[in-house]
Structure 1
């Protein structure tokens, strides 16, 4: 993220993070499921809300839009393929969101799988990926297919390795513990557990991570590798990546 910008998680509900990006004067929020916590943050830090960005239509990501729009009358950006209340800008792959007040440009990425029209916002060496990519995990397939989700994760994995990954939930420790059942010998995974457990012991977020960290530890980005394919009972073959991903996702769903 550019040095003139600050980015912080606003905790909401049980484990949601509403990401706020600001320059000490103006601010935007990503997936404000709860207006009350956003309003409290804006007031405390004397910030003026200038836009709302939405990744997908689930209520814990959109529930605060109405109150925030009523208070600040700001534009709402969201996926064109989903029903987003108060949306003023319908976004598709490649569309650019220009936030003049922050001198920030964010590129829209179509990443279906968790939902049919899920999008991400990429810019300033950061990606806001909603419920598609999690810390050491990925979202459940509520509307999309395994093939769609694998393609979406592969798209995210092609971003620069030092890209900061801003997910919408604090699920990282659960993801790490699951990943260790697949790759117990993965040293990077063992180190991540120690690091992120220490953060959570202090009630600190494990996010953002980076794509480099995710590619080294996240099993859903590693289904093309022999270690995961063998563990799931498949022959080592690039053609088995989707089958391996599907099996890993099913295993996580049932864990």
Structure 2
């Protein structure tokens, strides 16, 4: 008896979105119904083995083709789903923490940088002069300490700051674009006239954070307002309902 097996194929579909700034972003879109490969396999038990041996060359070729297609389906399905969550090994560059005081000399809003900035586990507590106005595009900041630092007018684009500490940091007039602040400590941080675009604050601590004249999109605002640690004054400043 013929047994039928189905192998789902996950497709990576991309959509080209056009923005007013004429920058084109290639964004992943969720897959729709996955196509399936159906193969019929003749049982090798009993007299059906003889039938398989007498199979016509055309049918044998079809089975080979189906097998190749099935292998392709398995090897191409779910291509490195977790790759975006993997971080490179900690940099062994001497004085890597001091590179934050220089920043990315060609850093732009799209996260372009001239040299990677690995600031993980660095301590910039109470740094009052060397971080102001720096471009920290695509910086790795997880588990770093910036408590009490002056980061006014800093440009943080596509930075990864999961688990970092920014208690009492002054982000006034800064551009914070697509930064991951997951589980970061932002208690008492000052976001005065700060651009907060596309950034995430999942499980971040935002007690006593100030959001005076913060520039933020509607969708980003709705996500930020779900954070229950924001004080009533902060929620009022943001316009959370």
Pick the TM interval, shorter chain: under 0.3
Higher relative contact order (CA 8 A, sep 6+): 1
Q: Which has the higher strand share?
A: 1
TM-score, normalised to structure 2, is 0.27
The structure with more radius of gyration: 2
TM-score, normalised to structure 1, is 0.26
